[in-house]
């Protein structure tokens, strides 16, 4: 595979795994994150280049539209093309702030309504974009990673522990029998799914949101 990919939130966790997997698949990879993650991005770029692929760092806040527009233009100008824009956004900051702001945190609380509603919005946006961009032969897909073994999950567990919750938050165990595989998904497993979605084998897959939730609904 030849071409260029852009991976946002690439400094660690899922984004980092995806960037490395796409490089192994043959893509040159532009990597993005906040300026605070510059050192991690530098290390990732070195790893990608060791795989024989080109890589450039683009600092931008993906929650700011103008910064995203400038980044996309810069990627195309520098790399000559952009075949795979991949966005990975985490919720650790907002989730942790909710935990820290409460005098009590109940592990039995099953829903965060605001967070859950945004996930359904992503699904709708994916389907609409897939229809709108089909005439350009562009496929648009999302993926639902569920609980992934990353530093974000460890941060959440540590914060819960610091709040004095007796039972440590264990993503897999807290679901009981709803987690039949008994473990979190790994970043490399998410990267494998993304690798398929951007491959020729998935040329007719669009508007989809495959899940690696490792649990029953």
Q: What's the pLDDT tens digit per position in 64-100?
A: 999 999 999 999 999 999 998 877 654 444 434 444 4
Q: Which CATH architecture has domain 90-217?
A: 3-Layer(aba) Sandwich (3.40)
Active site residues: 115, 119
The domain covering 1-89 belongs, at the CATH homologous superfamily level, to NAD(P)-binding Rossmann-like Domain (3.40.50.720)
More confidently predicted of 101 and 208:
208
Q: Would you give the end-to-end CA distance of the chain in angstroms?
A: 36
The strand pairing partners of 144, in sequence order, are 211
pLDDT at position 168, please? Answer: 47
**Pair 32, 71: CB distance under 8 Å:** yes
Calpha distance 136→174 (Å, rounded): 44
Q: Among the listed ranges 2-16, 18-32, 40-54, 109-123, which one has the minimum average pLDDT value?
A: 109-123
Average pLDDT for the chain = 81
pLDDT at position 91, please? Answer: 47
pLDDT at position 1, please? Answer: 64
pLDDT at 109 over 70: no
pLDDT at 19 over 90: yes
The confidence band for 120, taking pLDDT boundaries of 50, 70 and 90, is confident
The confidence band for 161, taking pLDDT boundaries of 50, 70 and 90, is confident
User: How is residue 84 annotated by DSSP?
Assistant: E
The domains spanning 1-89 and 90-217 adopt the same CATH topology: yes
- In the chain, % of residues over pLDDT 90: 55
User: How is residue 53 annotated by DSSP?
Assistant: -
pLDDT at 25 over 70: yes
**Domain edges within the chain:** 1-89, 90-217
Taking only Cα atoms into account, the Rg of the chain, rounded to an integer number of angstroms, comes to 18
- The stretch 7-13 carries a mean pLDDT of 93
Q: What angle do CA 118, 162, 112 make, to 5 degrees?
A: 15
């Amino acid at each position: 595979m030849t071409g260029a990919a852009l991976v946002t939130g690439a400094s660690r966790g899922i984004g980092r795994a995806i960037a490395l997997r796409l490089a192994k698949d043959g893509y040159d990879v532009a990597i993005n994150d906040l300026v605070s993650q510059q050192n991690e991005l530098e290390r990732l770029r070195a790893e990608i280049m060791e795989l024989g692929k080109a890589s450039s760092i683009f600092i931008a806040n993906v929650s700011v539209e103008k910064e995203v527009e400038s980044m996309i233009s810069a990627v195309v100008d520098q790399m000559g093309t952009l075949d795979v824009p991949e966005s990975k956004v985490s919720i650790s900051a907002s989730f942790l702030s909710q935990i820290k702001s409460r005098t009590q945190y109940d592990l039995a609380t099953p829903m965060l309504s605001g967070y859950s509603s945004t996930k359904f919005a992503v699904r709708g946006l994916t389907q609409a974009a897939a229809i709108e961009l089909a005439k350009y032969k562009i496929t648009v897909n999302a993926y639902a990673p569920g609980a992934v073994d990353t530093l974000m999950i460890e941060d959440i567990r540590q914060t819960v522990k610091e709040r004095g919750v007796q039972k440590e938050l264990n993503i897999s165990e807290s679901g009981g029998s709803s987690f039949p595989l008994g473990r979190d998904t790994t970043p490399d497993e998410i990267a494998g799914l993304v690798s398929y979605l951007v491959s020729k084998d998935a040329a007719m897959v669009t508007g989809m949101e495959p899940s690696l939730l490792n649990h029953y609904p």
